[in-house]
Chains A and B, each alone.
Chain A
Amino acid sequence: MFELADITTFIVSISVFLILFVKVYVVAAVLFSLPIPLTWIERKVAGHIQVRLGPFTVGPHGILQPIADTLKSFSKEDVIPEKADRLIFILAPLIALVPACMVFVAIPFGESVTIPYINYELTLYIADMNVALLYILAISGLGIYGIIFGGWASNSKYAVLGGLRSAAQMISYEVALSFAAIGVVMLSNSLSLVEIVKSQAGGFWNWNLFYLPVGPVWFIIFIIAGIAEINRIPFDLPEDEGTLGAGFSVEYSGMKFAFFPLAEYIAMTTVSILAVLMFLGGWNTPFPGAPVVPPIFWFGIKVLAFIYFFMWTRFTFPRYRYDQLMTIGWKILIPICLVNLLVTGFMRILL
């Protein structure tokens, strides 16, 4: 015999589980289809910045090009070098991809929406951890292992050099990135991303970016270190075509290779989202008086702007030399971080 209460609690817990499942599923589906529009946008941006048109043949304005590329990757021969460390060689693309996706457990896309008709309040995040920011930094840092292991397991000089470069680069810029995160935590008094966004509500002058004078400095440090973390030009030394062939991924082919750009695009989105959440007020509207649009709209616009920004810089700047990269990381960014940390601390105590 079941009590009625038992059954209702059972149904509630099942539905909670189901909702969580659906959320995870949706996020995963979006993540895996993300590179399809992103590669198209990136190639279009690349084309127009170089006064060309970009892909134009497959579908209207080449919009189906990424699908053709995917099919091509799938149908290509999957070569594993004879002297490679087979297990790690196969694992490496996964090690690159999985942490990039794991990050999205902690990323909020909005506060909550009430679904009409059934009056259910749906939160737009999978988990609101009270250490979300740290979690994201920690897990996204793991993606670098895919590059390091992939480079090493290929048993190729160029690949191993790419892996080494990536390791050193990651160590150097993780410090600056974490400092920028600490700065934001000091400004917003919380490690939870939802709280951080809430603390920036009400107009763009409340954003952490405009917490003068330290906000912009943190923002610039975060952006520079973020670009270095996701290995994009001007910091893409691990895959430097000019000197290393294709760096860590030189021995990869077919779908295994495609995992690396996939991970890179997801990481790029993560950094864009983090920048928006931490500095640009997340889903808060910039102009409180303006007509009301769903918060997710602002969020999307801001993230897209950031993604465009990353592509724009990619096709504008040349690559740094390796010693320049290290100099920027250790001798410029970190001292600025320390000074800025001090200033931020004083401002928070005294103001």
Chain B
Amino acid sequence: MEQIFFIGFAVLAIVSALAVVSLRNPVHSALCLMVCLFQVACIFVLLRSPFLAVVQIFIYVGAVMVLFLFVVMILDIRKVMLGSLVGKRSGFVYAIMPLVTLEFLLVIFKGGLGKVASNIPSGEEVKVAVIGKELFTKYLFPFEVVSILLLVAMVGAIVLAKDRDEGA
């Protein structure tokens, strides 16, 4: 039963992910990206991690995609659709693509992704409290680094958005 659901979600996720990059209309792409993220959330539920699933929907589907759409909607869709998908420096893109793919594969299969959540019993529903405790004890340092990174990004965005004459 679970297997069937997993295959369904996974296939839909992959198909919509492909659609994201191959559709010409950016709004359609955004819609497909939403579907893709939603399917990933469903897979999180199958992995007994409802918290992650909900957070995925909350942050990615709920907030980040709204911002995406906000920008995409202001675009002149017809002009964007006429333009080529791959720009003039396509040689560069083709050269870098296998490299990126290789890197991803390495991270997935050889990286330490599998070990991260090892002390959480598998097969059981992950309680929010457990995640919180892990995050604020064992992984406190990476957590803080990420927060600072976000803070830096925020400050950077404000600096970029500020009027030039006002900053001086």
Task: Verify that A and B bind, or say they do not.
Answer: yes
Is A167 an interface residue when CB atoms closer than 8 A count as contact? Answer: yes
> Which residues of A133-166 are within 8 A (CB) of B?
134-135, 137-139, 141-142, 144-145, 148-149, 152-153, 160, 163-164
Contacts of A138 in B (CB 8 A): 54-55, 57-58, 61-62
> Which residues of B40-95 are within 8 A (CB) of A?
50-51, 54-55, 57-58, 61-63, 65-67, 69-70, 73-74
Q: Does B73 lie within 8 Å of A171, measured CB to CB?
A: no
Is A85 an interface residue when CB atoms closer than 8 A count as contact? Answer: yes
Q: Does A167 lie within 8 Å of B69, measured CB to CB?
A: yes
Contacts of B11 in A (CB 8 A): none
Is A250 an interface residue when CB atoms closer than 8 A count as contact? Answer: no
In the complex, A152 Cα to B71 Cα: how many Å?
Answer: 12
Q: Which of A88, A163, A174 contacts B62 (CB 8 A)?
A: A174
Is A22 an interface residue when CB atoms closer than 8 A count as contact? Answer: no
Known contacts A142-B57, A149-B31, A164-B74; A130/B69 CB under 8 A: no
Closest residue to A191 on the B side, CB-wise? Answer: B128
In the complex, A296 Cα to B81 Cα: how many Å?
Answer: 54
Interface size class of B (residues with CB under 8 A): 20 to 34
* Interface residues of B, dominant DSSP: helix
Nearest-CB distance from A165 to chain B (Å)? 10
Q: Does B73 lie within 8 Å of A163, measured CB to CB?
A: yes
Most buried by A among B28, B34, B58: B58
* Interface residues of A, dominant DSSP: helix
Is B133 an interface residue when CB atoms closer than 8 A count as contact? Answer: no
Q: Which of B27, B50, B63, B74 contacts A171 (CB 8 A)?
A: B63
Is A170 an interface residue when CB atoms closer than 8 A count as contact? Answer: yes
Is A304 an interface residue when CB atoms closer than 8 A count as contact? Answer: no
Known contacts A88-B27, A138-B58; A148/B69 CB under 8 A: yes
Closest residue to B57 on the A side, CB-wise? Answer: A138
Is A334 an interface residue when CB atoms closer than 8 A count as contact? Answer: no
Is A168 an interface residue when CB atoms closer than 8 A count as contact? Answer: yes
**Interface 1/0s, chain B 121-156, versus A by CB < 8 A?**
000010110000000000000000000000000000
Q: Which of B25, B50, B63, B74 contacts A129 (CB 8 A)?
A: B50
Closest residue to B125 on the A side, CB-wise? Answer: A130
Q: Does A131 lie within 8 Å of B73, measured CB to CB?
A: no
In the complex, A135 Cα to B57 Cα: how many Å?
Answer: 9
Closest residue to B56 on the A side, CB-wise? Answer: A138
Q: Which of B34, B55, B63, B127 contacts A134 (CB 8 A)?
A: B55
Q: Does A134 lie within 8 Å of B58, measured CB to CB?
A: yes
In the complex, A85 Cα to B73 Cα: how many Å?
Answer: 13
Closest residue to A185 on the B side, CB-wise? Answer: B128
Contacts of A137 in B (CB 8 A): 58
Q: Does B70 lie within 8 Å of A167, measured CB to CB?
A: yes
**Interface 1/0s, chain A 110-144, versus B by CB < 8 A?**
00000000000000000001110011011101101
Closest residue to A189 on the B side, CB-wise? Answer: B129
Contacts of A144 in B (CB 8 A): 66
Q: Does B31 lie within 8 Å of A168, measured CB to CB?
A: no
Contacts of B128 in A (CB 8 A): 130-131, 191
Contacts of A174 in B (CB 8 A): 62-63
In the complex, A164 Cα to B62 Cα: how many Å?
Answer: 15
In the complex, A211 Cα to B129 Cα: how many Å?
Answer: 23
Known contacts A130-B50, A130-B127; A141/B27 CB under 8 A: no
Nearest-CB distance from A223 to chain B (Å)? 20
In the complex, A152 Cα to B72 Cα: how many Å?
Answer: 10
Contacts of A131 in B (CB 8 A): 50-51, 54, 128
Contacts of A171 in B (CB 8 A): 63, 66-67, 70
Q: Which of B34, B58, B66, B127 contacts A167 (CB 8 A)?
A: B66
In the complex, A142 Cα to B37 Cα: how many Å?
Answer: 13
Closest residue to A140 on the B side, CB-wise? Answer: B62
Smallest CB-CB A-B distances: 9 pairs: A138-B58, A141-B62, A138-B57, A134-B54, A167-B70, A135-B54, A167-B66, A131-B54, A131-B50
List 20 A-B pairs, Cβ < 8 Å: A85-B27, A129-B50, A131-B54, A134-B55, A135-B50, A138-B61, A145-B65, A145-B69, A148-B66, A148-B73, A149-B69, A152-B73, A160-B73, A164-B74, A167-B69, A167-B73, A170-B66, A171-B66, A171-B70, A174-B62
Q: Which A residues have a C-beta under 8 Å from some C-beta of B?
A: 85, 88, 129-131, 134-135, 137-139, 141-142, 144-145, 148-149, 152-153, 160, 163-164, 167-168, 170-171, 174, 178, 191
> A131-B54, A152-B27 given. 13 additional CB < 8 A pairs?
A88-B31, A130-B127, A134-B54, A135-B50, A138-B55, A138-B57, A141-B63, A144-B66, A145-B66, A149-B69, A152-B69, A167-B70, A171-B63
